[in-house]
Amino acid sequence: MAMADGSRVIAIEEHYFDPELAALFAGRDRRTPPPIRERLLDLGAERLADMDAAGIDLQVLSHGAPSLQKLDGEAALRMARLVNDRLHETVRANSERFQGFAALPTADPAAAAAELERCVSRLGFKGAMVHGLTGGTAFLDEKRFWPIFERAAALDVPLYIHPSIPSEAVVQAYYRDYIEDFPGLLTAGWGFTVETATAGIRIVLSGVLDAYPGLRIILGHLGEGLPFLLVRIDEALSRNRSRLASFRDAFCEHFYITTSGNFSDTALLCSVMEMGADRIVFSVDYPFVDNAAGTAWMERIPLGYEDRQKILHGNAERLLGL
């Protein structure tokens, strides 16, 4: 069923698994519960029926974590071409319902930049999604990865920075005492947030946004908590002179955030007050979160009609050229 007011609904953090790539996941990355794994592997009738029931018109599909980020350069590039070509076939078969974000072989930054260009220019993808740390250790702001940012800016497409399970050193230092009883602490309960918010902060501090002023970055889960902390981060960083004029201004100029898996009125209102409704894009985080929960929340969020339309579809259309 559609939204009560007939609004178009676009959801942009919606995951799937390519069977060949998912078969390579090891250790903690393999521990996807069977019902969710089944839905990740489905790009057909059941997914479309679930979208229809929740009133979602279009999903922008992205491979689930850790995607290609834990493969070495040669293996990652070979798999990237296969995975992205197969996603292209899915999108081409039903472009009114699906669009795609590229998976990038970040272990080889030059190859990742070239694959991004291929996916955007030849396959029609709307940007790319990168999951966590490359090789489990390297943040994307390191200068060796800047060719990826340069290419994204030149192509005028965003990079979506998505969580992955933290490195084992972080797991042992921060979470080991509690993850047996509370496994979600390692992922969406806290570990994802800490890692991805840190990645976002590092991107601002690195200077890459100054080097490529047209660059646009997307963070999920209502910005991994950063909108709540922008004023405090800005104040703390400004105590010492630095080349960064304003962390808060840089973040609000270059970053977009999505609602994926964080259907909180208070968090949304904080984000709107900090960043404006123009910077917020609807997402569900399917299939880890149910589609219907997301659209039901959007029906009742305490915002006016115009801002609701921006979040439901207008911002995605503008950001992704839909």
Alpha-carbon distance of 87 to 157, in angstroms, equals 18
User: Which of 18, 50, 141, 285 is an active site residue?
Assistant: 285
Q: Please confirm whether the linkage preceding 287 is cis (ω < 30° from 0).
A: yes
**Residue 285 appears among annotated catalytic residues:** yes
Helical ranges in 103-160 per DSSP H: 109-121, 146-155
One-letter amino acid of 8 = R
Tokens of 141: 């702001």
Length of the chain measured in residues: 322
Q: Is 89 exposed, middle or buried (0-12, 13-18, 19+ CB in 10 A)?
A: exposed
Burial 274-312 (b: 16+ CB within 10 A, else e): bbebebbbbbbbbbbbebeebbebbeebebeeebbbbbb
| Residue 150 amino acid letter | E
Rounded Cα gap, residues 252 and 44, in angstroms: 37
Residue the block writes with tokens 């400004």: 238
249-270: b (≥16 Cβ within 10 Å) or e: ebbbebbbbbbbbbbeeebbeb
The residues that are catalytic are: 285
